[in-house]
Amino acid sequence: MSGLTWVKFERLNPFKVREVLLVSSPFDRFVLEENDILPMTLHRDFEQLISSQAPRISHASDADDALNLMLERRFDLVITMSRIGSMNVNEFGMKMKSIHPEIPVVLLTYNTRELAHLKIGGGIDRVFVWSGDTSILFAIISLIEDERNVGHDVATGDVQVMVLVEDSPRFYSKYLTRFYKNLARQTSRLIYGGLNVHHKMLRLRSRAKVLLATNYEDALDAVDKYGRNIIGLFTDGRFPRKNIMEEDSGLRLIDEVRDLYPHLPILFMSTEEHNRIPSQQKGAVYINKHDRQLHAKINQFMASRMGFGEFIFSDSENNQYMSASNLNELRDGIEQIPEKSLLFHAERNHFSHWLRTRTEFEVAAAIREKKIDDFPSSDGVRNFMIESIQNFLRMQRRQTIFDYNPELAHSSNFQRLGKGSLGGKGRGLAFCFSRIHELELHSKYPGVRIDVPRTLILATDRFVSFLERNNLSEIALSEIGDDEISEAFLKGEFSDDDLEIMRGMLEIVTWPIAVRSSSMLEDA
């Protein structure tokens, strides 16, 4: 992973919802708090699912209070309930936008019956229905951020996109809460296990964006803009087309999409069983919306069809040969599978699709640029795939500081054991390690290899643990002589876990080693 790529990750998600104005009656606010939606669940979702700080929520008890607050402070999002005093929600939304034209205003209701009595117009951007899922606010905030960031993030970081086509607020509210929790968990699980915390956080920024389309035209617009980056389309069977509700709009949409992207995974979700066979004939997976296993089947679709699960090496006859759960296994599988399996996956961009799901955008882009026709034979395709993945792994090992992982002991050049500071020498080595390849010293000094040796750093928490384990803190700070302090430290013992890790490293080291420390006794 090049330093430039990490910079790209840092530039993702420029718009963040940090300040939310919630407008509701005192009773509605009480209901939200009693049902664990505010504030603990919101903080839990942000911390556990995306390791991020939740936005701050301010409350206004009616529309007039909210408008006054908007004049005094800056908010990124307004969420309003239906009972907000004498003003109707659409009028309230319009007045909000007269103060802050770009502010998204979202209506949150308890059920769809409420909507029948409300006049929803240009003052309301989105309508959500709360049906008991405590993560509804997390989904609302995530969708608003995705809609603002998707254009920038696709252009900057080549991030992926999921498109949900559904006009029913009740259904898309349920789907989106599930989508976002699944996306966060699966993206976190798929990120390369040994990456350090900072790099993992950057990777989480690059999770797939979710777009919601409530009519045919918006769905096509999303496909036109981001088609190459779409990894999955979820569509209802019936939704408006040219402002008219059409029974076959979902099937029409599949036809349009299949002409452009014949291998795009599509999940067709409908309450009408007569759509099952036609949608399946068009290459979509069909699920009835009332299926008790709906959410489990959505998870299965994301894992097996969208690349969030293992890569299954198969062929056009559904023969399965082996599976891969990481890049090393993918490389080894490509080397071993028969020609018909290799070409089956290469023709359909399955390899690059799976890699992008794991936020490995560099190697995915390199692979996708090439077509089968660019090679004289299938061996050329195979060798190119293997070499591309191997070069990426080699570059990643040489430029990324990994948290200690025994599976990486043979391959990673720089690992950290523990948490906290690396210490002065460790920090200097880490800085050189992260920058040395960007300086291209090999081109400035041909014939001379300048590199940072393979390194394992024990972070400061391991040193603190060593002090506490051997009761050395008081001795280290006492006024006794250096010889006595040295003797006490030499008698100290590392934990069994630390000793096991260091023994494991020594078993694979076949070259001279240097133990670097501030103590002369530990230099060798």
pLDDT, tens digit (0-9, with 9 covering 90-100), for 162-190: 999 999 999 999 999 989 888 877 777 76
Per-residue confidence (pLDDT) for residue 164, from 0 to 100: 98
Q: Is 77 helix (H, G, I), strand (E, B) or coil?
A: strand
Residue 222 is inside which H or E element, if any? helix 216-226
Q: For residue range 434-461, what is the model confidence (pLDDT) as tens digits?
A: 777 777 777 788 888 887 777 888 888 8
User: Residue 451's closest CA among 372, 398, 504, 383?
Assistant: 398
Across 307-406, where does the E strand assignment appear? 311-314, 320-324, 402-403
Q: Which CATH architecture has domain 10-304?
A: 3-Layer(aba) Sandwich (3.40)
- Supply the pLDDT for residue 457: 82
Written as one string, the DSSP assignment of 79-123 is: EE-S--SSS-HHHHHHHHHHH-TT--EEEEESSHHHHHTS---TT
Query: How confident is the model at residue 225, as a pLDDT?
Result: 97
Instruction: Output the pLDDT for position 29.
Output: 87
145 within 8 A of 166, measured Cβ to Cβ: no
Alpha helix segments (H runs only) across 411-508:
423-435, 441-444, 460-469, 473-477, 482-491, 496-508
Q: Enumerate residue ranges in the chain where pLDDT < 70.
A: 1-6, 36-40, 48-51, 116-117, 190-199, 398-399, 407-411, 516-524
* pLDDT recorded at residue 48: 64
- For position 407, what pLDDT does the model report? 66
pLDDT at site 523: 44
Q: pTM for this one? A: 0.78
Largest CA distance in the chain: 89
Query: Would you state the pLDDT for residue 198?
Result: 67
Burial of residue 440, with CB atoms counted within 10 A of its CB: 0-12 exposed, 13-18 middle, 19 or more buried: exposed
DSSP assigned state of 195: B
pLDDT at 5: 62
Q: Token digits for 200?
A: 């993992």
Q: How far apart are CA 416 and CA 398, in angstroms?
A: 14
Q: CA–CA separation, 524 vs 521, rounded Å?
A: 8
Question: Are 56 and 77 contacting, i.e. CB atoms less than 8 angstroms apart?
Answer: no
Predicted pLDDT of residue 51: 58
Residue 210: the pLDDT is 96
pLDDT of residue 115: 74
Give the residue range(s) of CATH 3.40.50.2300 domains in the chain: 10-304
Q: What is the pLDDT of residue 9?
A: 80
13: left (phi over 0), alpha (psi -120 to 50) or beta: left
